């Protein structure tokens, strides 16, 4: 594959222990610019923990994570700077309920990137237009449906101009009829070559837009493949069993 | 009826005895007001330390000290804290009783305010905290911009109730011969040998103050809820 390039994210022997639970064991992985990497696996296999280690919301207990060549696990690394370049979208949206939609979108660029209000608002309006929610900019998060909230949450992350977007089950908290609107925003992002790491249970969506899929079980990467091979020719028994259940 | 008027005259008008009530009320209000300020400052500091420890595991040593403070203050009677502050801690220093009272009640109140603030902060969903941090905001920025403005809705009403409790608590100031409202009424009783008038008067004044403060708290609560988006 793309071995001639240096990876945007390089994970080396990552390990994460919670007290006595081994959530992540010896995981190594390279994510390249433009990758749309999907992470699937059974519940409790460590997918969220893995994703949250990438921007150090969880502090790894072993191994290394290089982002853009910088070891973000080293104690003298300023993680706040790097997090600005890694957008994160949560299952529960986590919009700030005491701020208007517009405020949710501009607070990061204004406070952290010292953009002027005009500049930040113009950027926010661009993204709001793209997800079809420009007319809701003065509303508050609780006035929106789940699907709308999640589209706003994606905009909020994009307004920081990230180099990679991390998604943790972005559609799992949504009513079925709202899943499509969020997936189509993600599809557009993938088409624009945004680097994405996506944890999901939406297998058909993974098949459709991923360029790589990894299967995690018990804190390890059991198998990685292209979408076609992943679903047609699963190698390990665990993946076969998993696909048997979810497809 | 005549009896009541005469009793009223004797207890409050004769020899200007109403001054005991007025001076007492003034002292009660001064002690409560400054103790509230001191208690809030202490409470904020300790609440911040405790919730930082719970969220990040940092400030372990300070948190341990806070634990001791909370255990001691909440585990001993207010009257004893007041007596110890006056007769032990400030025994050899010349500090006015009103200042001693403010310090004793402020330190006491701080412990309860700290718990109000800590639980207010911890009541906000951790997802809010993670959203702030994942955008690149520091711990302090996240607290100030996202967590605290939401926590304040839970904190303010509880804080108001704490101040109402404090107002009534200051009635034990008489133990160090501080002339507060209760003590003032009791002085009149000891001069006129009639208990009913002065004690009921003091009780009425406390009741009115509490009812007024209670309305303030309720008003705030409503306002907070209305701005709840
Ligand atoms: N904060 C935590 N404290 C203790 N254990 C945790 C914590 N977070 C996760 N774990 C444990 O780590 C393991 C991996 O959890 P994780 O949430 O990463 O799984 P997941 O693959 O995302 O599951 P799901 O599909 O249900 O979201 C589980 O055994 C879980 O109980
Ligand atoms: Mg998960």
Distance to chain B for A84, nearest Cα, Å: 5
pLDDT mean across residues, chain A: 96
Please indicate whether, in this complex, the C-beta atoms of A98 and B149 are within 8 angstroms of each other. Answer: yes
Please indicate whether, in this complex, the C-beta atoms of A88 and B134 are within 8 angstroms of each other. Answer: yes
Q: What is the pLDDT of residue B153?
A: 87
pLDDT higher at B6 or A4: B6
pLDDT band (50, 70, 90) for residue A177: very high
Show residues of chain B in contact with A86, CB under 8 Å. 134
3-class DSSP string for B93-118: CCCCHHHHHHHHHHHHHHHHHHHHHH
Q: Nearest 5°: phi and psi at A44? A: 85, 10
DSSP per-residue string spanning A115-133 = --HHHHHHHHHHHHHHTT-
Q: Nearest 5°: phi and psi at A18? A: -105, 115
What is d(CA A189, CA A221) in angstroms, rounded to the nearest whole number?
25
CA of A45 to the centre of ligand 2 (A): 8
Residue B70 has pLDDT above 90, yes or no: yes
Identify the CATH homologous superfamily for domain B2-227: MetI-like (1.10.3720.10)
Q: Nearest 5°: phi and psi at B164? A: -65, -45
Q: Which two tokens stand for residue B34?
A: 């400054």
Query: Quick one: DSSP state of residue B6?
Result: H
Find, in chain B, the residue whose alpha carbon is nearest to that of A161: B135
Cβ burial, residue A101 (10 Å; 0-12/13-18/19+): buried
Give the distance between the most distant pair of CA atoms in chain B. Answer: 76
- For the entire predicted model, the pTM comes to 0.89
DSSP per-residue string spanning A169-210 = STTTTS-HHHHHHHHHHHHHHHHTT-EEEEE-S-HHHHHHH-
Q: How far is CA B59 from CA A188, B48, B49, B52, B96, in A?
A: 45, 10, 7, 7, 36
Q: Give per-residue pLDDT as tens, B140-163.
A: 999 999 999 999 988 988 999 999
Residue B225 has pLDDT above 80, yes or no: no
Task: Calculate what percentage of chain A has a pLDDT beyond 70.
Answer: 98
Find, in chain B, the residue whose alpha carbon is nearest to that of A143: B229
State mean pLDDT over B93-107.
Answer: 95
What is d(CA A183, CA A24) in angstroms, rounded to the nearest whole number?
28
Domain positions in chain B: 2-227
Q: Is B207 on the interface with A (CB under 8 A)?
A: no
State mean pLDDT over A93-100.
Answer: 97
Distance to chain A for B126, nearest Cα, Å: 9
**Residues with a beta carbon under 5 angstroms from ion ligand 2:** A 48
Residues contacting A123, CB < 8 A, separation 6+: A105, A106, A109, A115, A159
Q: What is the pLDDT of residue A3?
A: 53
Q: Is B134 on the interface with A (CB under 8 A)?
A: yes
Q: Nearest 5°: phi and psi at A244? A: -60, -35
CA of A106 to the centre of ligand 2 (A): 28
What is d(CA A70, CA A114) in angstroms, rounded to the nearest whole number?
23
ipTM of the complex: 0.94
Q: What is the pLDDT of residue B162?
A: 92
């Amino acid at each position: 594959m793309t071995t001639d390039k240096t990876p945007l994210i390089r994970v080396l022997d990552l390990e994460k222990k919670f007290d006595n639970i081994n959530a992540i064991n010896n995981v190594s992985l390279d994510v390249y610019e433009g990758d749309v990497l999907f992470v699937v696996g059974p519940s409790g296999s460590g997918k969220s923990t893995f994703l949250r280690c990438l921007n150090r919301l969880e502090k790894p207990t072993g191994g290394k994570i290089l982002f853009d060549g910088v070891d973000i696990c080293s104690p003298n690394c300023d993680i706040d700077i790097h997090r600005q370049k890694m957008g994160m979208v949560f299952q529960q949206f986590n919009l700030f309920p005491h701020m208007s939609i517009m405020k949710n979108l501009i607070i990061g660029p204004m406070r952290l990137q010292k953009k002027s209000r005009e500049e930040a608002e113009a950027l926010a309006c661009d993204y709001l237009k793209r997800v079809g929610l420009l007319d809701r900019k003065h509303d508050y998060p609780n006035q929106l449906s789940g699907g709308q909230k999640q589209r706003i949450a994606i905009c909020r992350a994009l307004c920081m101009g990230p180099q990679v977007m991390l998604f943790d089950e972005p559609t799992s908290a949504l009513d079925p009829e709202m899943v499509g609107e969020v997936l189509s925003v993600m599809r557009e992002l993938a088409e624009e070559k945004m680097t994405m790491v996506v944890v999901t249970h939406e297998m058909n969506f993974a098949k459709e837009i991923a360029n790589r899929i990894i299967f995690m079980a018990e804190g390890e990467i059991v198998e990685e493949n292209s979408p076609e091979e992943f679903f047609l020719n699963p190698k390990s028994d665990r993946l076969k069993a998993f696909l048997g259940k979810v497809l | 009826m005549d009896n009541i008027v005469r009793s009223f005259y004797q207890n409050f008008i004769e020899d200007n005895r109403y001054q005991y009530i007025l001076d007492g009320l003034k002292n009660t209000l001064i002690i409560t007001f400054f103790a509230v300020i001191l208690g809030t400052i202490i409470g904020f500091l300790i609440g911040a330390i405790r919730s930082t420890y719970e969220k990040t595991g940092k400030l372990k040593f300070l948190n341990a000290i806070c634990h001791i403070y909370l255990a001691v203050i909440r585990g001993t009677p207010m009257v004893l804290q007041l007596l110890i502050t006056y007769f032990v801690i400030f025994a050899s220093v010349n500090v006015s009783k009103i200042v001693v009272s403010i310090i004793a009640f402020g330190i006491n109140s701080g412990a309860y305010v700290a718990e109000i603030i800590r639980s207010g902060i911890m009541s906000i969903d951790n997802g809010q905290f993670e959203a702030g941090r994942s955008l690149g905001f520091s711990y302090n920025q996240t607290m100030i911009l996202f967590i605290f403005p939401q926590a304040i809705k839970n904190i303010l009403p509880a804080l108001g109730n704490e101040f109402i409790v404090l107002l009534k608590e200051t009635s034990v100031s008489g133990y160090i011969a501080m002339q507060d409202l209760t003590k003032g009424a009791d002085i009149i009783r000891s001069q006129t040998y009639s208990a009913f008038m002065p004690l009921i008067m003091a009780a009425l004044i406390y009741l009115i103050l509490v009812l007024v403060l209670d309305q303030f708290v309720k008003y705030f609560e409503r306002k907070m809820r209305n701005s709840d988006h």
